[in-house]
Amino acid sequence: MDGNRRWAKRQGRRAEFGHRSGAENVHRLASLCIQRGITYLTLYAFSTENWKRSEREVRSLMRLLVLYFNKYADELRQEGVRLRFMGDRNGLPPLLIQTMDEAEATSADRDRLQLVIAFNYGGRREIVTAVHSAMKEAIVNGDDIASIDETKFASHFYLPDIPDPDLIIRTGGEKRLSNFLLWQAAYAELYFDDTLWPDFGEDELDSAIADFMSRKRRFGSS
């Protein structure tokens, strides 16, 4: 979801306007994914590094998430969308945490699309947290730490039941992962688009899917 601030700047507006427009695009992309039979969509909404932004912008992003799900949660549920959140909730405003909990609980039985919002998420933090959790579990159970394999380790991630991504799309023209799903992205196909997130729509999504379908995935084999 990259490019909200630049999109707003091009229109002579504040960053908050871009973030609102970007949030409105979430529903549109979720609907497009459902139409195409895509069952998992993970969006990077707020990284652990985004706390470095101005206090005003951070507060605005926190409020925006609450307002967005108060506005669209029922509509998303009716479309069969299960809402989930991935990231560290420590330090987040209580109202935001309550909104996350309610959105997850009330949509838990939906199965057309799992819409995962990565909020206060960082790939490095997720890995470090998983290391601590896996080691603690091994010690409590009296297991040898050397018995922790990839499967056991990955079971300590924020949402261990979510499959690894097939395709990672980055909007806004930057060509890097920026601490997103570092472990899970091991064999993901990467696609970079210059389109700013609020303008990323049906044509752009279909182009990304077509590019993905044209690739031969080897998963390490020849």
pLDDT tens digit string along 133-161? 999 999 999 999 999 999 999 999 999 99
All structural domains of the chain with their residue ranges: 4-210
With 70 as the cut, is the pLDDT of residue 8 above it? yes
Query: What is the C-alpha R_g of the chain?
Result: 18
With 70 as the cut, is the pLDDT of residue 222 above it? no
Instruction: Assign 82 to helix, strand or coil.
Output: strand
Record the pTM: 0.93
Residues with catalytic function: 2, 50
C-alpha pair distances (Å), 212 with each of 1, 48, 123, 167, 189: 19, 29, 23, 7, 7
Could you read off the pLDDT of 67-87 as tens digits, one per residue?
998 888 899 999 999 999 999
With 90 as the cut, is the pLDDT of residue 38 above it? yes
Q: What backbone phi and psi angles, to 5 degrees, belong to 47?
A: -95, 165
Spell out the CATH class of 4-210: alpha beta
Q: How confident is the model at residue 15 (pLDDT cuts 50, 70, 90)?
A: confident
With 90 as the cut, is the pLDDT of residue 167 above it? yes
Q: How confident is the model at residue 17 (pLDDT cuts 50, 70, 90)?
A: confident
